[in-house]
Structure 1
Amino acid sequence: MGTLKNQVQLIGHVGQEPQVTVLENGKKVAKISLATNENYRDSKGEKQTNTDWHQLVAWGKIASLIEEYVFTGKEIAVQGKLTSRSYEDKEGVKRYVTEVIVSEILFLGGNGK
């Protein structure tokens, strides 16, 4: 089990257009939100869907691929690792963020554009 360290795999649909930024050092970073759905039947036997939203961050070549090929509604599969960080907002309130740092991406569901 030593090789199973902080690995996340998700398949879902992109919730908004990617936010791609080029940093001062020339490195690209892309940020997107991904919706994953879980379907189940409730106690009355009715179908229910639970949607979770995940914040994804990709760097370098993967960020460039996202910039070129990813758009709102696109189905993708990603692999990466979970990271958590905190920051203070403009009002001085401490905020906590959990993100998936993407190491691999797979485009699913056809072109769509």
Structure 2
Amino acid sequence: MMNQTQLVGHVGKMPKAKLLKNGRYMVDLNIAVKNSGNANEDGEIPTSFIPVRYFGKDHAAFIADNAVTGVTVSVVGEIVVNRYQKGGTGEQQFYTYVQARDIQINDTKEIVDKKKEKVSGVQ
């Protein structure tokens, strides 16, 4: 079986890049996507925020610097479900995210720069 997903959406919260203990670079971000076909009673289509994780030094730094809140991105990757025991209670918990193989910024450099200014408060 193949596990592949493709998402196009807007970056939610600001991406966070970090260097892991094993020397790998990782960036975490959330992608806002519309749930087409699931309109509520008012006809509004709800938005879901999908956690995305990407590994790779150069591209992770590029994504962290340029995929600011509101920027449109395309993500190709696979769905990962991690299980863990909740501290104290031992209750099993699940964390689901997309482990990206590729993230592309769809907006032009000019749009990205404007969104960077807006996020940083410089106008």
TM-score, length basis structure 2:
0.75
Higher helix share: 2
In the alignment, structure 2 segments of 5+ residues that lack a partner are: 117-123
User: Does structure 1 residue 24 correspond to structure 2 residue 21?
Assistant: yes
* Partner residue of 2:44 out of 37, 43, 48: 48
Map Cα deviations across residues 28-48 of structure 1 (whole Å, 9 max, x no partner). Answer: 11111111014569698x641
Distance 1:109 1:88, change over 3 A: same
Higher strand share: 1
Map Cα deviations across residues 26-82 of structure 1 (whole Å, 9 max, x no partner). Answer: 2111111111014569698x6412212211010013322211211122211110011
Q: Which moved more, 1:100-109 or 1:34-43?
A: 34-43
RMSD of aligned alpha carbons: 2.4
In the other structure, the counterpart of 2:106 is: 108
CA–CA separation in structure 2 for the residues paired with 1:72 and 1:13: 7
Distance 1:54 1:28, change over 3 A: same
How many residues were matched structurally?
109
TM-score, length basis structure 1:
0.80
